[in-house]
Amino acid sequence: MQTIRRAHINLPRLIRTLPLAVLSLCLLGSPAQAADPSEGFPNRALNITVTFPPGGGTDILARLIGNALAETLGHAAVVENKPGASGNVGSKYVAERAPDGYSLLMVNSSFAINPAVFTTMPFDPKKDFAPIINVAFIPSVLVVPANSPYQTLAALLTAAKPVKNDVSYGSCGNGTPQHLAGESLNIYAKAHITHIPYGGCGPALKDVVGGQIPLAIITASSAMSLIKGGKLRALAVTSSARFGQLPDVPTVAEQGYPGYELSQWHGLLAPANTPVAVQQKLFEGINKALQSPAVKDKLNSLGYTTANDGPAVFKKIIDGDIDKFVKLAKEIKLKVD
């Protein structure tokens, strides 16, 4: 018969070691509380990628904000220009960067238009980014030559009602906010204004001043000096409310087309999965920079209205615009690729 040996238990030793063992199991079973990822952030310079060439409005905004962050976050931001494919090149670049808060993307409304006009996108604009802040917005303005026979928007649209007419409009290019502002006007007013795309706002301005085209839809900042100098007549602005620097120019909406609105926003995004605490710290630092008198005065001189929409609100603006522009592009059968 096999003898069963009883295990010898050292009871005093077990009593002494049991609390330590239980504590070790508790520590293994319950992970330590993660440190706040925004603690000590930032500890080096940030990077702002601009999806357009140097010198444009979006680039100027990025550099203005980047410099001001030295005061509010303790480190300035280095601006890097990566133009191409209407901004898709730079956007893809930032989408693939580490979500640590040090890589930001400066975009305007074209970011929300691209999904509507490109058959395929190299990233998901709704899922691959964390919106941080809507920095500023600016409306477009409908302008005609100073000697134009069209004194009002109503007179111009009356002339553009027939399917065949001589009214055309120049824009800053195919798929730009100004292009879609014109097509939206056609839909709202049941008009037939022919689109003439230009390679930027500057060439379109030159031709409308010279009378080569009867109408142009241009960013208000680009046209303001020509309007105030008497070389162009402004018929309407595309924003929902009147533009502060052109207070006598009515909106399209108040001239019989309620609901019409298309302002061009400019904002900063970060890669998706950037910690929420870091997003909030970025928002607070950038928003504080926007409130400084020097930055506000500069924005005002450029024709921008400061915005301070935070991450949640800005995401609703972007996603809403993407859906709106996809619907509009389908309606007018617009593709640019």
Q: What is the pLDDT of residues 96-136, one digit of tens each?
A: 999 999 999 999 999 999 999 999 999 999 999 999 999 99
Phi, psi dihedral angles at 170 (to 5 degrees)? -95, 145
Q: What is the pLDDT of residue 32?
A: 45
Round to whole Å and give the CA distance between 138 and 114.
19
pLDDT-derived band of residue 14, with 50, 70 and 90 as boundaries?
Answer: very low
Q: What is the pLDDT of residue 17?
A: 53
Which architecture, in CATH terms, is 139-255? 3-Layer(aba) Sandwich (3.40)
Segment 296-300 shows an average pLDDT of 91
Q: Is the pLDDT of residue 8 over 60?
A: no
Q: What is the pLDDT of residues 213-255, one digit of tens each?
A: 999 999 998 898 999 999 999 999 999 999 989 999 999 999 9
pTM: 0.82
Domain with CATH 3.40.190.150 in the chain: 46-137+264-332
Q: What is the CATH number of domain 46-137+264-332?
A: 3.40.190.150
Segment 262-271 shows an average pLDDT of 95
Is residue 107 within 8 A of residue 269, CB to CB? The reply is yes
329, containing H or E segment: helix 311-332
Q: What is the pLDDT of residue 12?
A: 53
Q: Nearest to residue 79, comparing CAs of 98, 43, 54?
A: 54
- Which of 53-57, 192-196, 293-297, 330-334 has the lowest average pLDDT? 53-57
- Which of 16-25, 173-182, 248-257, 301-310 has the lowest average pLDDT? 16-25
Q: What is the pLDDT of residue 158?
A: 98
Is residue 246 within 8 A of residue 237, CB to CB? The reply is yes
175-195 as b/e: b if 16+ CB within 10 A: bbbbbbbbbbbbebbebebeb
- In whole angstroms, how far apart are CA 119 and each of 14, 94, 198, 334? 70, 21, 22, 10
Domain with CATH 3.40.190.10 in the chain: 139-255
Q: What is the pLDDT of residues 16-52, one digit of tens each?
A: 555 555 545 444 544 545 578 888 999 999 999 999 8
Query: Of all residues in the chain, what percent carry a pLDDT higher than 90?
Result: 78
